[in-house]
Amino acid sequence: MESENKQVHGVLAEFRNPKELVDAANSVRKSGYQDFDTYAPFPIHGMEKAMGIKESPLGWIVLGGALTGMIGALSLMIWVMGYEYPMNISGKPFINYPIYVPITFEITVLLSAFAAVFGMLSLNKLPRFNNPLFNVDRFDKASDDGFFVCIEASDDLFAEEKVSQLFRENGASHIETVYDSE
């Protein structure tokens, strides 16, 4: 058999509707599994709670980028214009805060945007060039009318038969072992 040579990626289960999917995700979390994900064609209210997903740290990452931009821009302008290269322009003070506002704002927004993009990529472990689930024919329904849960083999509690039994107990309409592609 061809699948004997491949490494198991996880077990994928299909459910009939969003309520069954939320109930299954809740059951999977309560069973102690942590390395699992759900897939549905639309956001499902209550899924984050059922999966035990904590609040994202992305907001703090963006705040860090914003503060870095603001403090960095102000520090550089004050140091350059007030101490390193002071220029007497029409008798105005060397450190003139109102003229720093536009540049400070722009640098703050720029570094916030970079922090948001790179923070999101890092937190989502992207780029991921291939996901073995894409090789499963039934998984095409995840973007149309399918509701799936996949417990990955990297989970410490993963045992293929125990996971399949858990999915059967939760009323999965289809259960399939997913193998890593070569």
pLDDT digits (tens, 9 = 90+) for 60-96: 999 999 999 999 999 999 999 999 999 888 888 888 8
* Type of residue found at 65: G
- Tally Cβ neighbours within 10 Å of residue 81: 18
| 44 contacts: CB under 8 Å, gap ≥ 6 | 18, 21, 22, 38
What pLDDT, on a 0 to 100 scale, did the predictor assign at position 89?
Answer: 83
Fold that domain 2-54+131-179 belongs to in CATH: Alpha-Beta Plaits (3.30.70)
Q: Which range among 1-10, 12-21, 45-54 shows the weakest confidence by mean pLDDT? A: 1-10
What does the pLDDT read at residue 92? 86
Query: What are the extents of the domains in the chain?
Result: 2-54+131-179, 58-123
Q: For residue 79, what are the contacts with CB-CB under 8 A and spacing of at least 6?
A: none
Q: C-alpha distances in angstroms, 120 versus 42, 59, 123?
A: 20, 10, 5
pLDDT interval class at 2 (50, 70, 90): low
* b/e sequence 98-130, b meaning 16+ C-beta within 10 Å: eebeeebeebbeebbeebbeebeeeeeeeeeee
Band of pLDDT at residue 3, cut at 50, 70 and 90: low
